[in-house]
Structure 1
Amino acid sequence: MSDESDQTSITDGYVVPIAGLMALMFALMAGLTVPRALSGDPADAVLPVGFAVGAIAALRLRQRYAAASADPTTDETS
């Protein structure tokens, strides 16, 4: 049930900055774990790669949400 008003939700402005901070956090953790991965067992490289994938995913989420909230008339389903 909606009141069909054009008011935005109070949480609309928080997704983009939080996703950006998450991307920064994952990138920082990836950078901090790289020396251990380079000097140790090859299996230790999984952790920085996982953090890097998390950072890229958070950046992609941020980019998609920012584009969707900037232009509400377009439908980004792809």
Structure 2
Amino acid sequence: MQKEFTIANPLGIHSRPAGDVMKKAKSFPCDVFITKAEKRVNAKSIVGVLALEMRCGDKVIVETKGEQEQEALDAIGAMLESILE
């Protein structure tokens, strides 16, 4: 399953929130990917999450597949649409 989200953090997804997103993604057994423009990365990789250079207002697609995919989609999406410090 997949859904589009808008990055809300005024500073974008820098190292600290990227680490939080990665940790949350790793807490689920399913595959979790984030896509921005044409770039798709594994959300369980800090390097991948940082490589997307997500800025405030950017639209990204979160894709999950496998066990607990709905829960993972909701949790990761909520993080991306909230202000993480």
Select the structure with the greater relative contact order (CA < 8 A; seq sep ≥ 6): 2
TM-score by length of 2: 0.29
More strand by share: 2
